[in-house]
Amino acid sequence: MEQLYLNFPCRAKQINLLDELLGKDSLILPPLLFIYGQAAVGKTTILVEYLDIIKAKYAYVNCIECYTNRLLHESILTQIFGVSSDIKCDNFMDLIHIFRNASKEGSFFNQPTAIVLDGIENLNDSTSGNSLAVFSKLQEMTSIYSLSVIFISKVLPEKFYIDSSYIPVYFPQYTRDDYMTILKFYRPPECEEQFFENYLNSALTVFIRTTRDFIEMKNLNASPEVVKVLAGNKCDATSQRVVDQEMGQKIDQYDSGQNGNIHLDLKSRLFENSLKDQWKCSC
């Protein structure tokens, strides 16, 4: 668990809640969890890594890939039971029957089991209502109390018709301070800590107004192989400058490596990359 906290800073509250609900010592799990939040806030990654840590048996299904009930059910059965491909599961009654038989054989004895449905808003419109209704009551219909169903969505739970009680787990967007804490882990080894912190502070001041997507924010600290082009520097807006002249000169020297001659360095980089990856005609 300690490694999970280190891998996902600023998510201790959500990890603690998952541990309370799905703890490895618990033999009775909640019937339904609903994890929701914007994209790139750690919903799926944290949940899957936590299930691996507690050694739970689980099936993870990306709903956008399962456009029929048969694909959805067989994906679940294959991951949990290792059912061979010649066994078909076309409807919900077959699914419930297989789970009941497995329970009688002791397949769920003393081991937490979870069915993770990621992106439930992508379920087929004609079957999504039935799917959500059945999965939300799967524990009740199978009498397997160590089985929990987990919905993951970017959409609020109130937008779905779920005729069953559920426990919501909300993953909020990262704040500015959260980004400062997380992005410090991506500091290049050759970059001074204070310099990189000043860089993040300046970059977040600009970009956090337009996006809070973590993947886009992470690209602010792209690897040296990525060509970065300075499109505008607001040299005329002296009253709005965030970086002073001395710090700007350090950034210029750090980026160009040519004693401040960033124009020559940028031109040579673009020319070298154009030679490496020539445009090809697709005719």
**Do 146 and 105 reside in the same domain of the chain?**
yes
Residue 254 belongs to some domain of the structure: no
The pLDDT of residue 202: 87
Q: What is the dihedral of CA 167, 168, 169, 171, to 10 degrees?
A: 180
- CATH number of the domain residue 160 falls in: 3.40.50.300
**Do 79 and 140 reside in the same domain of the chain?**
yes
Which of 134, 152, 170 finishes a domain? 170
- Mean pLDDT in each 10-residue stretch from start to end of the chain (283 residues)? 91 95 82 94 95 93 88 91 72 91 83 93 70 92 94 94 92 92 86 88 85 78 55 63 64 49 47 47 44
Whole-structure pTM over 0.85, yes or no? no
Residue 279 belongs to some domain of the structure: no
**Do 100 and 237 reside in the same domain of the chain?**
no
The residue segments making up the domain with residue 181 are: 176-244
**Do 189 and 152 reside in the same domain of the chain?**
no
The pLDDT of residue 280: 46
Q: How many CB atoms lie within 10 A of CB 11?
A: 22
**H or E stretch at 12:** helix 12-22
**Do 192 and 141 reside in the same domain of the chain?**
no
Whether the CB-CB separation of 73 and 95 falls below 8 Å is answered with yes
Residue 273 belongs to some domain of the structure: no
The pLDDT of residue 274: 46
Whether the CB-CB separation of 253 and 246 falls below 8 Å is answered with no
The pLDDT of residue 12: 95
Nearest to 204 by CA among 224, 182, 223, 225: 182
Domain count, the chain: 2
Q: In what order do the strands lie in the sheet with 167-170?
A: 57-62, 113-118, 147-153, 32-36, 167-170
How far is the C-alpha of 213 from the C-alpha of 281, rounded, in Å? 35
Q: Which residue has the tokens 């005329």?
A: 236
The pLDDT of residue 177: 92
The pLDDT of residue 8: 93
**Do 62 and 154 reside in the same domain of the chain?**
yes
The pLDDT of residue 252: 54
**Do 83 and 149 reside in the same domain of the chain?**
yes
**Do 110 and 204 reside in the same domain of the chain?**
no
The pLDDT of residue 108: 80
DSSP string for residues in 128-157: HHHHHHHHHTHHHHHT-TTEEEEEEESS-G
Residue 51 belongs to some domain of the structure: yes
**Do 18 and 144 reside in the same domain of the chain?**
yes
**Do 180 and 142 reside in the same domain of the chain?**
no
Structure tokens at 159: 């937008």
**Do 60 and 107 reside in the same domain of the chain?**
yes
How far is the C-alpha of 113 from the C-alpha of 11, rounded, in Å? 23
